[in-house]
Structure 1
Amino acid sequence: MSKKKVKETNSLWPFYSLMAAFARRFGVIALGVVVVVSAVVVAYQTHQLRQATIELKKLQDEQTALDLQWQKLRLEQSALADHSRIEQLAQEKLQMKHTNNDDEIIMKPALRDKE
């Protein structure tokens, strides 16, 4: 009985041998395709990362420039809103001056009941 099993296995040996050779070749080709696709994906992802890093750097530089401009505008606003500057402009351009007690005239409302 054991001789028949050996003969059956041996009779299918060329088929198994052919399938094994095909699987090896197909496996090598499939592995090669997977390696190439993987390399292309890695290159694409690296490119995307570099582009995103460049964009991030540009946005950080823009943020820094805007922060500096904001600080300058705040300093300018505080300088322009300074009380002594406003007082000086009022005196020079509008000829305004501080009043003395002698120059003040206080008017009292007229009472209607007094007729």
Structure 2
Amino acid sequence: MSKSSLSKSKSRADKKKVKETNSLWPFYSLMAAFARRFGVITLGVIVVISAITVAYQTHQLRQATIELKKLQDEQTALDLQWQKLRLEQSALSDHSRIEQLAEQQLEMKHTDNDDEIIMKPALRDKE
């Protein structure tokens, strides 16, 4: 094979490829345009979904923060009430107050040593 015949066959193959490519060019350009448009539409949809998700998550965070603040306020109020109840309990359980109530309401009094009677256990077996 000579050089000229080789170059002719090569140029025929190139022309055939160009002809095939030219015949498919509308299809490729249509697919490329569709891919570009579909890509832009897909990207737009993803951006919108992302924005909605961010807004929803921000809303949930704010609601949770408000709930946390309410629970902290309630905890503070319960702590104050607990402190008041402990003070009241210590005041009510004071021995002098109990003695005073026993003397006034139940008419109880302290016993003297003269009033005390000491009883010894009886021995049953001893007869």
TM-score, normalised on structure 2?
A: 0.80
Runs of 4 or more off by more than 6 Å in structure 1?
A: none
Residue by residue over 1:29-59, the C-alpha shift from the partner in whole angstroms, topping out at 9 and shown as x without a partner, is 1111111111111111111111111111111
CA distance in 2, matches of 1:30, 1:107: 101
What is aligned with 2:52?
Answer: 40
RMSD of the alignment, in Å?
1.7
Asked whether 1:28 is paired with 2:49, we answer: no
Residue by residue over 1:46-89, the C-alpha shift from the partner in whole angstroms, topping out at 9 and shown as x without a partner, is 11111111111111111111111111111111111111111111
Asked whether 1:105 is paired with 2:120, we answer: no
What is aligned with 1:90?
Answer: 102
Larger radius of gyration: 2
CA distance in 2, matches of 1:16, 1:110: 121
CA distance in 1, matches of 2:96, 2:30: 100
Where does structure 2 lack aligned partners over 5 or more consecutive residues?
1-12
TM-score, normalised on structure 1?
A: 0.87
**% identical aligned pairs:** 87
Moved more, 37-46 or 105-114: 105-114
Where does structure 1 lack aligned partners over 5 or more consecutive residues?
none
Decide which of 10, 13, 35 is 2:22's aligned counterpart: 10
What is aligned with 2:78?
Answer: 66
Distance 1:6 1:83, change over 3 A: same
